[in-house]
Amino acid sequence: MERLEGVVRPYAWGSRTALASLRGQQVPSAHPEAELWFGAHPAAPARCVRSGDQGMPGTDLLSVIRSDPVHELGAGSMGRFGERLPFLLKILAAEEPLSLQAHPSLVQAQEGFARENARGLAIDAPERNYRDPWHKPELVVAVTEFDALAGFRPPARTVELLRELQVPALDPYLGLLAGQADCDGLRAVFTTWLTLPENAIMALVPQVLEGAVAVLESRNTEFTGELRTLLELGEMYPGDPGVLASLLLNRVRLRPGEGLYLPAGNLHAYLHGTGVEIMANSDNVLRGGLTPKHIDVPELLRVLDFTPVPVAELRPTVRTLGAERIYLTPAAEFRLSQVELDGTGLRRSQSISFDMPGPQMLAVLGGTIEVRTAAGDSATVPAGSALWLAAGDPDVVVRAASSRATFCRVLVPVSQRAGAVEGQVPAAPA
């Protein structure tokens, strides 16, 4: 059992208040704080907080796992994923929109990683797409109201949106989608927009933005959210083809506790809000716009899934077991749940017990929890911190150490009996 301190990633789109407030730090922070990483990714492994550290840098979770992978990960996880933690947990706080992006499949990641290694690209090179040989399916669960673009909207609905704009320059694309309302039509329009010459983009985007303003000022529309997002992106990234691409995507608003699952190849962009993000342990991102970072349109086009998807199909199945809300997804690397405990004894559950079928992590989103093992060890974990529970640790009981406590739990959803796992994930190349 290890208490963890997350690593703050200071990306420009982050919030100066959300993560600082969560961790009890000075608000506003000195710089934007975008993500708080709790995991064992080599780029930013979580720090283990131990009583003897006395303010000095201690060890990190990656080192702990490498020192005894059998105890830390267990037979089931190791049998499927090897001597590495298969998930990465983040708390994400977006004050501004993130890039238009997608993540590769496992095979695409392995091939891309090998290809860039053969080219001699350094792992931290700005132009590198594949920083590891792993895929990155991910689930985000809203902590606050959370806005995103995710997945290609069914083309018939996009045709309605383009008609609403009444921009003659969009007519060729509207006609293409109306006549080919499937993934091939979406691929054709998206590819054309992202590869238009700069002068064509600079001419088309302002016309589309003017059309959006005219609609919003003159009449009610069911596409208000989509058009306001279009204008926001157009103001931040004038002349960026990603502004046009936003017209093809589902506009999603999550309420606290609602989730969104993004498989490989799903085009998305988080817009605003704070959420818990759980993903396979990877940092591979293919970007197509809405960012000053490296953009690789040909590689993005290679990995994208253009299949139209209604928002409902991106929502995880939620199962409630007492105080625990479990978010079920197809991902083999993780299972996320959220727990609310009451420390007053007047309402809700006061405590919850967890057995140890494999490695687990508890990250506190509000209040403070106390965790006790069957062996009598205990740890107190405040908001903004996490607790690592090794596969070989005793079972635990978690109770609220404040009037109310909310935390998320992540585990690897595999049996810990050696040989009990089906559907092995192929090993990545060295």
Query: Which tokens go with 31?
Result: 């710089």
Find tokens 């018939």 and name the residue. 156
Q: What is the DSSP string of 232-288?
A: HHHHHSTT-HHHHHGGGEEEEEEPTT-EEEE-TT--EEEEEEEEEEEEES----EEE
* Nearest C-alpha neighbor of 134 from the set 39, 3, 48, 198: 39
d(CA 396, CA 390): 11
What are the Cα distances from residue 359, in Å, to 40, 96, 330, 394, 415?
12, 34, 19, 11, 11
Helix (H) and strand (E) counts in the chain: 11, 22
Q: Is 61 helix (H, G, I), strand (E, B) or coil?
A: helix
| Contact call for residues 130 and 67 (beta carbons, < 8 A) | no
* Nearest C-alpha neighbor of 284 from the set 423, 128, 161, 169: 128
Q: Which residues lie below 8 Å from residue 217, measured CB to CB, with a gap of 6+?
A: none
- Does residue 251 have an active-site annotation? no
Q: What is the DSSP string of 193-229?
A: HHTS-HHHHHHHHHHHHHHHHHHHHHS--TTHHHHHH
Catalytic residue among 131, 287, 325, 409: 287
Question: Which residues form the catalytic set?
Answer: 287
